[in-house]
Amino acid sequence: MDLTYTAAEEEFRRELRSWLSANVPAEWRRPGFWESLSDEESFALRRDWERDKALAGFAGIEWPTEFGGRGGTPGMKAIYDVEMVLADAPRSVNPLGLAFLAPTVMAIGTDAQRKEIIGPLLRSEVIWCQGFSEPGAGSDLAALSTRGVRDGEDFVVNGQKVWTTNAVHGDKIFTLVRTTPGSRRHRGISMLLIDMHQPGVDARPLKQMSGASEFGEVFFDDARVPATDVLGAVDDGWRTAMLLLSFERGASGISQYTEFRRQYDEIAAVARRLGRDRDPVVRGRLARVRTELECLRLHSMHVLTQVEQGRDLGFEASATKLQWSETFQDLWEVYDDVLGEHATLTELADLDLRPLNAQAFWSRSVTIWGGSSQVQRNVTAERVLGLPR
Amino acid sequence: MFFALTPDQQEFGSAVTTYLAERFDLAAVREVFESDGDGSPESLWKAAGEQGWLAVTVPEEHDGLGLGLVEAQVIARALGAGVAPGPWRGTVLAAEAIRLAGSPEQRAAWLPRLATGAAVGAYTLGGPVEYGGLADVVVTPEGLRTGFEATPVGSYDRTTRLSRVEGGTVEPLPGDASTVEARATVLVAADLVGIAREALTRTVAYDREREQFGVPVGSFQALKHALADLHVGVTMAEHAALYAAHAVDVGLEDAALAVSVAKAKASDTALQATAAMIQYHGGIGYTWEHEAHLFYKRAKRLAGSFGTADVHRERIAALTL
């Protein structure tokens, strides 16, 4: 058992901390700061900051140096994830591009694609969206019907994507499109890399139940994409998508643990402030969720160990997602228990409850996106436990 | 970062598992369960002595293996999975108390004998004592009790025998025995984790084969989702027991939290997994002839041993609120 990081990893932590303390403005740590900005202002600020961070060498931590990464260890990536949360660094403007598209392009992209996509993505010069879900294809992704028809050197794309993160800010979208007319299920699909700045693409925000608009819809109306802008082979897009999603498997949950632990402490502080910490039922509920949070921390050390040992975690990623997302949701249900009749108030005594409620509402979404809890349970039952389909 | 068992540690656990599968399977457990004997079959006790299961944490200078609580919890987990009878845990814990807090004379007198199984030990904070009737020495908060009277206490978990212990003489332990309760709690948690994993594995195996409505019942989502959630829960409980063992052994700052997390999680998960074992076997799971009740009853007893999940949750609240 060795729960420490190497000297080189700790040195990396010191460098990163020092950069973050000099480059995260104090104002950003003020509760409610980000909520006080418009969506446009917030995105622009985060985009510039993320570019500066990349230019300082604190991006692509585990990427090979040939792609502009740092060539760091899995331990450095874990440290990076933790320190970003502890420093109150803003959320990434390119989460899906960085986590999923980039490693896929490194693995199977053409030389031209590697050159064009990876550097600008790392520096947030190009914001990438993911075009997978459709109104008729949510958990059942293979039911997608957006179609692309070959026309000379281009594909002409028609259809609609939905739940698209950063849709209104996107520059490009990696999109699953049915390129063989009449093909069924997993066959005849290609992953097209579509420029969103063209008349045939219309991105609209979706207002969520929280009031925020992290997601949107993307409509394709005779959008054009050069036939060379296919990631992987034409009609082999399902395989490309599965490869792309496999890069989630190394995710340990340490970033989620760090964030949720702080939220636990905040909720505990509210409980103390309201005298609710003396209620035995509230104490029991908080302790139950803290137990699950500690398990998440240990699980993240387990995942990191497996990654460092070079093992493929396979479908164990479903257990990781279930543990963090269900625990996060439980945590914010406890918040409601703590607040009791005040659960929907925007303020109480001298407490500003808006940032807390933003998280409480957001917690309803995490068991849906990225593979719903029900899908993750199917995967766990069939692929891990071996129960019949 | 290495949060896992080493190959040697894994080997230690699989040696116990293999021994139980080949020499002391559930039919043998059932024989003990249904007998009026002392509940500690001779062949199994001999193996525990010969194979180093008892010597695991005893220092080498006292004929032990000089290993830690991490290795001990590996054995505890395997014994739990096999619902194995016998005073293994009490003997290891008595040795731990004497190793940590005993005088040189007490160590020399007891440790070599406890390490081989020549002497049987027990550990209690009060209340019924596991295998008190067989124990040569019982470690209590007051010290080492010997020459006592043991009266059997009835219990539905017949994989373990309990006694009330009275009288005799008590010899104090001069040193610091403050971590022994934590060690006991970790070993009980590990036993529960072993029970939970085995109950889940057996249930999954059954539900893959058992057909109703012309298909295996394990193909129904109502079962799949419950079993998937249990798999996640058992996996987390395994992490928690392993971490708690390490945290206590090396004295990590969060050891007290880690122990309570492990016991709360292991207790809940083992109760859920063994209840699910009964439910997802259907009627056969409720019969005496089926093995489910061996797991269920052992889980039920150990879930209450060294603090229920609620007791540990209150400790977690006290530590974190």
- Written out in words, the top-level CATH class of the domain with range A7-93 is mainly alpha
Give the nearest chain B residue to A375 (CA atoms).
Answer: B225
Residue of A nearest to B1 (CA): A3
CA separation for the pair B79, B16 (Å, rounded): 7
Say which range, A208-217, B11-20, B176-185, has the weakest mean pLDDT: A208-217
Mean pLDDT of the A171-182 span: 97
Residue B80 to residues A161, B89, B116, B199, B300, Cα–Cα distance (Å):
51, 11, 21, 10, 13
Given pLDDT bands bounded at 50, 70 and 90, which one contains residue B299? very high
Tell me which of A28-42, A228-242, A322-336, B65-79 is least confident.
Answer: A28-42
A7-93 and A248-384 agree in CATH topology: no
DSSP character at residue A134: B
Q: Is A22 left (phi over 0), alpha (psi -120 to 50) or beta?
A: alpha
Return the number of other C-beta atoms located less than 10 Å from residue A186's C-beta.
Answer: 14
H/E run at residue A351: strand A351-352
Query: B20 and B141: one domain?
Result: yes
pLDDT digits (tens, 9 = 90+) for B126-148: 989 999 999 999 999 999 999 99
- Structural domain includes residue B124: yes
Q: B41 and B146: one domain?
A: yes
**Do B291 and B269 share a structural domain?**
yes
Tens of pLDDT, residue by residue over A56-79, are 999 999 999 999 999 999 999 999
Residue A202, SS3?
strand
A283, B313: Cβ pair inside 8 Å?
A: yes
From B118, B140, B171, the end of a domain falls on: B171
The complex's ipTM works out to 0.97
Q: Do A2 and B257 touch (CB under 8 A)?
A: no
End residue of a domain, out of B104, B138, B171? B171
Q: Does A305 touch chain B (CB under 8 A)?
A: yes
- The pLDDT of B239-245, averaged and rounded, is 98
User: Is the pLDDT confidence value at B103 over 80?
Assistant: yes
Q: How far apart are CA B99 and CA A101, in angstroms?
A: 56
CATH number at residue B28: 1.10.540.10
**Do B190 and B306 fall into the same domain?**
yes
Quick one: A128-235 is in which CATH superfamily? Butyryl-CoA Dehydrogenase, subunit A, domain 2 (2.40.110.10)
Closest-CA residue to B89 (of B259, B305, B243, B237): B305
Same domain, B164 and B44: yes
Give me the phi and psi of A37, to 5 degrees please: -95, 155
Nearest to A298 among B223, B243, B317 (CB): B243
Say if residue B152 is in the same domain as residue B271.
no
User: Is the domain defined by A248-384 classed in CATH 1.10.620.20?
Assistant: no
Q: Are residues B166 and B297 in the same domain?
A: no
A310-329, pLDDT tens digit by residue?
998 889 999 999 999 999 99
Kindly state whether residue B2 falls inside one of the protein's structural domains: no
Query: Where in the sequence is the domain holding B263, given as residue range(s)?
Result: 180-320
Q: Residue B1: inside a domain, yes or no?
A: no
Q: Please determine, for residue A299, whether its predicted confidence score (pLDDT) is greater than 90.
A: yes
Shared domain check, B162 and B191: no
Whether B36 and B149 map to the same domain: the answer is yes
- When CB atoms are compared, the residue of A268, A306, A385 closest to B227 is A385
Q: Which domain-ending residue is among B131, B150, B171? A: B171
Q: Which residues of B touch A284 (CB under 8 A)?
A: 310, 313-314, 317
Q: Which residue blocks in chain A are alpha helix, DSSP H?
A: 7-23, 39-55, 74-86, 95-96, 102-108, 111-122, 237-246, 254-273, 280-308, 317-339, 354-362, 373-379
Residue matched to tokens 């609240």: B317
Closest CA to A175 of A160, A162, A192, A161: A192
Number of domains in chain B: 2
Residues of A catalogued as catalytic = 248
Give the model's confidence band at A6: pLDDT under 50 very low, under 70 low, under 90 confident, else very high.
Answer: very high
Instruction: Tell me if B193 is assigned to some domain.
Output: yes
Distance from CA of B318 to the nearest CA of A (A): 8
Q: Compute the half-sphere exposure of residue A169: CA atoms within 13 Å on the CB side of its CA.
A: 23
* Per-residue exposure over B261-289, b if at least 16 CB sit within 10 Å of its own CB, e if not: bbbbbbbbbbbbbbbbbbebbeeebeeee
Q: Which residue has the tokens 């990349």?
A: A54
Q: Where are the domains of chain A?
A: 7-93, 128-235, 248-384
Task: Give the CATH number of the domain where residue B271 resides.
Answer: 1.20.140.10
SS (H, E, C) A9-50: HHHHHHHHHHHHHHHCCHHHHCCCCHHHCCHHHHHHHHHHHH
